[in-house]
Amino acid sequence: MLKKLIYLLPFAFLACDSDSDNSTENQSQNNFIVELVPSVTQTNVDEEFTVTVNAEETIKAMWVSLDHFATGGYSIRNFGSSYVLHFNFDTLGEKTIYVRCQNAANQVSERQIAINVNRGNAVKITGVQVVSFNNINGTWDPEYPISNPNHLADVFFGFNKSKLNSSLEEGYWPRLWYKSSVKENQGDLTWNISSAGLYVDPLKTIQIGVIDQDEPPLGQNLLNSIQDTKSFSLSAYTTTKPTTIAYSYPEINLEFILQVEWPN
């Protein structure tokens, strides 16, 4: 459920405790060397690309990180002498991919490669207004009388976006993309998120959830639905390119408006 995604880290990584000095020393003492071969060095937001890891012998363990192994995915298995890693990014700029490999003799080789992420056809979401949700203006905190505004929902929204489950595996899974601030007692239900850097391929599906925040991490679903998210996309607007787009789902009492910027 979205509220669970919001309070859980979207990735579970195991940290590596080997430092870069030891890695460099190991490489100088053995001939276990890996090379990285990217499918591209320039990519666009949400576009998948690959990096092939090649070695002259079997790779027993592999670490993959975007922050020089402060965090990152780790796996022990028989990778063979060549293995394909999968990536996609939804933020702009240069990304450095770090790969550390280990052979059967526990010798280590480490490499890194830079990939530049461009905007491409991505749309930037700059604002959100929640117009309606289930039981809007109604009581969500019954411990307060109707005369007290605290009986109203404390509202936030969240976006999930499908992302690669892991660079070490193929397959996509919805993951938390953005969580808004909370509008207490309903507030104005309008958020300026132009500084959040939310770029998305207009053909990609997004999930929105609208939640009444109780004591964190608890919350109540504000959609009139068993599901606590609703899927939508920008694909119907790629020709007209409006800067304001309204979405209405009366069957679940949800209406919201997006402010967007299209690429030139």
Which single residue is written with the structure tokens 């990217």? 38
Answer yes or no: do 96 and 168 share one domain: no
Identify whether 218 is part of a domain: yes
166 with 175: CB under 8 angstroms? no
Among candidate residues 67, 99, 118, the one where a domain is terminated: 118
Answer yes or no: do 113 and 126 share one domain: no
Answer yes or no: do 170 and 240 share one domain: yes
Query: Is pLDDT of 17 > 50?
Result: no
Answer yes or no: do 143 and 257 share one domain: yes
The pLDDT tens digits of the residues spanning 240-262 come to 999 999 999 999 999 999 999 99
Q: What is the DSSP letter of 194?
A: G
Identify whether 9 is part of a domain: no
Identify whether 172 is part of a domain: yes
Among candidate residues 96, 118, 140, the one where a domain is terminated: 118
Answer yes or no: do 167 and 51 share one domain: no
Total domain count, the chain: 2
What pTM does this model have?
0.84
Give the domain range for residue 66. 20-118
Answer yes or no: do 174 and 59 share one domain: no
Answer yes or no: do 108 and 136 share one domain: no
**Which CATH number belongs to the domain containing residue 223 in this structure?**
2.60.40.150
The pLDDT tens digits of the residues spanning 162-184 come to 999 889 888 899 999 999 999 99
Answer yes or no: do 212 and 254 share one domain: yes
Sort 256 into a burial class: Cβ within 10 Å, 0-12 / 13-18 / 19+.
buried
Q: What is the dihedral of CA 75, 76, 81, 83, to 10 degrees?
A: -20
